[in-house]
Structure 1
Amino acid sequence: MSAPLPSFSAAGFRHGARIALPAFPGFIMFALAFGAAAAQKGLSLGQAMGLSAFVYAGASQMVGLEIWQQAWSPATILTIVTVTAVVNARMILLGATLQPWLKHEPIPRTALNLFLLTEAGWLLGTRYHGNGGRDVGVLLGTAVVLYGVWLLATLAGYFAGALVPEPRRFGLDLVMPIFFSVMLVPLWKGARPALPWLVAGIVSLAVHALVPGYLFIIAGALAGVAAGMLIE
């Protein structure tokens, strides 16, 4: 029997909004941290909200803050574009896995779904699809709700960060390193799968010590990919 064709309904959209609830804590904490870091970096409210609204990628936004300059040049623009593209390259694979589900959708709605794509939304949507669901409204409902949560939490984080004039005095500059470290713990699947991460970290540190700029991010990513391919 052929699989049912995908559809789109308001009921599916509402269902997607409901199943997004478990992802709220992670989204809120990450966006709060970004908003606070943006305020402490000296970004205006419009700049911080613009990054969350149009870039909408937590890791890339954090990396972008590190590279952010008050006076821009073609070199710094090229640097930030290259680094964020490398960090977000994983979205190419996530988007490709949705092709069988979205190929019958109108192009504008597909473009909106892909713009709002996140790991959390992808995980919830593909789990629903794997269980036999075919309503694309579920995917979009999840994505829209998470996007709204991201923007609101960024706004709250920005004003919270602006109230702390000396974040290092309270140890707030350690929030993101600790946060990222905690995020890695549930991903542990044994020593063998962790080897590419270890290689990427060592190469990144070495390149960072020897070469100025942000080449260490690209070098670490490529080294991790190469190590993973050799291990497999």
Structure 2
Amino acid sequence: MSRSTQVARLDLAGIIVGIRRMAPLCLFVVVFGLAFGVAALSRGLSGLEAMLMSALVFAGASQFAALELWGPEIPLLPLIATTFAINARHLLMGAAIQPWLAHLPPAQRYASVVVMSDSNWAMAAADYQKGKTNVGMLVGGGIALWVTWLFGTLLGVLFGSGIEEPQRFGLDVIMGCFLLAMLVGGRRDLSILLPWAAAALAALAAMTWLPDHAHVIVGAVAGGLVGVLLPARKGEKP
């Protein structure tokens, strides 16, 4: 793995490139947003509330999970715990690219992670592994995803019908497959399978014996620990 020693930068040209690279995946994000808009209305949220949730939360899995707990009386603590469990992976995702962002001005650094999601993080992490210095993929990709997520939610709110169960069409695995392809596509070392295997086994065990959504944290921590403990390959920085 070779990483550039040049200081990372963020500029408009890089952001535009990030938007263009993320554009094909955004088509699927619209479908998920549409499904969320429809589901939100069916759970009693107004169109404005659904749009505000998508704009401010910007986390599809957490938003759908929140709808499952939504009702006349909202269980606040379970809602907070569930949201944290689902999004805890962002702690490790942020830590993985922290060295890349560390030299950016604080305003740019924190603004970059505000729009971080699975897909643009995966592309950005791949760029980081290749030694690229422009952080525009993370920001531009995040902006593209956020805008299309809002657009999809708006479609669901306006038309009140759509694909309420994307898993019936296999659309729920598109993001996961994309993430996996981005992370392992450029690697020729089979050792990359060890952290993934550890994460999968730990997550499956957690799904069996621990409370709902705990598998997200358990799998992420297990995979991260195995990745950290793996010896660095020759020529790699530890």
Q: Same fold (TM over 0.5)?
A: yes
CA contact 1:203–1:216 (8 Å) conserved in 2: no
One of 17, 35, 38 as aligned partner of 2:37? 35
| Residues 121 and 139, structure 1, Cα contact 8 Å, conserved in 2 | yes
Q: 5+ residue gaps in structure 1?
A: 165-171, 205-214
Q: Hey, what's the Cα distance between the residues in 2 that align with 1:96 and 1:227?
A: 15
Alpha-carbon contact 1:15-1:141 (below 8 Å) kept: yes
Q: How does 1:1-232 map to 2 (within 5 A)?
A: 3-72=5-74, 76-160=75-159, 162-163=160-161, 174-176=165-167, 179=170, 182-183=173-174, 186=177, 194-203=200-209, 215-218=211-214, 220-221=215-216
Question: How far apart are the structure 2 equivalents of 1:225 and 1:14?
Answer: 31
Amino acid at match of 2:56: F
Instruction: Give the 3-state SS of the residue equivalent to 1:133 in structure 2.
Output: coil
Give unpaired runs (5+ residues) of structure 2.
182-192, 230-238
Deviation at 1:83, TM superposition (A): 1.0
Shift of 1:69: 2.3
RMSD: 3.3
Measured at CA, do residues 131 and 148 of structure 1 come closer, stay the same or move farther in structure 2, by a change above 3 Å?
same
CA contact (8 A) 2:10 2:134 kept: yes
What is the aligned-residue identity percentage? Answer: 31
Q: 1:45-77: CA deviations, max 9, x gaps?
A: 1111111111111111010000112344xxx11
- 1:223 positional shift: 6.6
Structure 1 position 203, deviation (Å): 3.0
Question: Which has the higher Rg, Structure 1 or Structure 2?
Answer: 1
Cα distance in 1, alignment partners of residues 76 and 10 from structure 2: 39
Residue pair 1:12, 1:138 contacting (<8 A) in 2 also: yes
Q: Which has the higher helix share?
A: 1
User: Structure 1 stretches (4+) deviating beyond 6 angstroms?
Assistant: 225-230
Partner of 2:148, secondary structure, is helix
Q: CA deviation at 1:94?
A: 0.4
Are the aligned partners of 1:49 and 1:155 in contact in 2 as well (CA < 8 Å)? yes
TM-score, scaled to structure 1: 0.75
